[in-house]
Chain A
Amino acid sequence: DTEVTQTPKHLVMGMTNKKSLKCEQHMGHRAMYWYKQKAKKPPELMFVYSYEKLSINESVPSRFSPECPNSSLLNLHLHALQPEDSALYLCASSQHEDGTYEQYFGPGTRLTVT
């Protein structure tokens, strides 16, 4: 299985809501990533988990809270988001976190904050 899955595909939430994005991989990869992608822009790194521990946090606002329950799962908890947080949220995984291995991306969650 060489696929990263994400749920939900689409999410519309108000600024007072709390929601979670989920990501799963069964490739035995030790690194997992959350990216944010705006239209016509490259993916923007948010968080990196290596061996289930948070290793990189790219100064992301605290309204985004990542969680790695086990080596196959990655969650992104959302609360009190702003309209400018509307974007495609991509999860990815790779064998290791050093950036020299292929990153396998999930299909993304299209988030709209109203």
Chain B
Amino acid sequence: GENVEQHPSTLSVQEGDSAVIKCTYSDSASNYFPWYKQELGKRPQLIIDIRSNVGEKKDQRIAVTLNKTAKHFSLHITETQPEDSAVYFCATNPDSNYQLIWGAGTKLIIKP
């Protein structure tokens, strides 16, 4: 079945710097790639997603890139702010499975 690996497990960056989180997947039929943010004690919330017919998508300081050949997708956060501190989960939806397969999560720490 589909497997999603997410790296790093913890990322600490200085406020104002950029952060990049990467996920790799195994099923070439995967066609949807969302990123969820979960602040401490809060619910997961979708922050950005990308579909397999698109290589990059941006929303203000957040961007996601997809490399279908290499089977990886990445979350880019620029000009990081304290409110970006959270756990970020990547996920994918293999064509043969109606469920989301989640990565293990990345704890992003923004240092003041």
Contact = CB atoms under 8 A, between A and B. Distances in A.
Interface stretch (A12-20, A74-82, A102-110): A102-110
Given A42-B104, A45-B99, 11 more contacts: A40-B107, A42-B91, A43-B44, A90-B44, A97-B98, A99-B97, A100-B31, A100-B93, A102-B34, A103-B46, A106-B43
A52 B107 CA distance: 35
B45 interface: yes
B78 to A, nearest CB: 23
23 contacts: A41-B104, A41-B105, A42-B91, A42-B103, A42-B104, A42-B105, A43-B89, A48-B98, A56-B98, A56-B99, A97-B98, A98-B98, A99-B93, A99-B97, A99-B99, A100-B31, A100-B93, A102-B34, A102-B46, A103-B44, A105-B44, A107-B42, A107-B43
A100 B50 CA distance: 10
B102 interface: yes
Interface of B: 31-32, 34, 42-46, 49, 51, 87, 89, 91, 93, 97-100, 102-105, 107
Contacts of A105: 43-45
Contacts of A106: 43
Interface string A64-103: 0000000000000000000000000010000001111011
Interface of A: 40-43, 45, 48, 55-56, 90, 97-100, 102-103, 105-108
Contacts, number: 49
A99 B98 CA distance: 5
Given A45-B99, A99-B32, A103-B100, A90 B43 contact: yes
A113 B32 CA distance: 36
Contacts of A97: 98
A41 B89 CA distance: 9
Contacts of A99: 32, 93, 97-100
Name the 3 nearest CB pairs between A and B, nearest first.
A42-B102, A99-B93, A105-B43
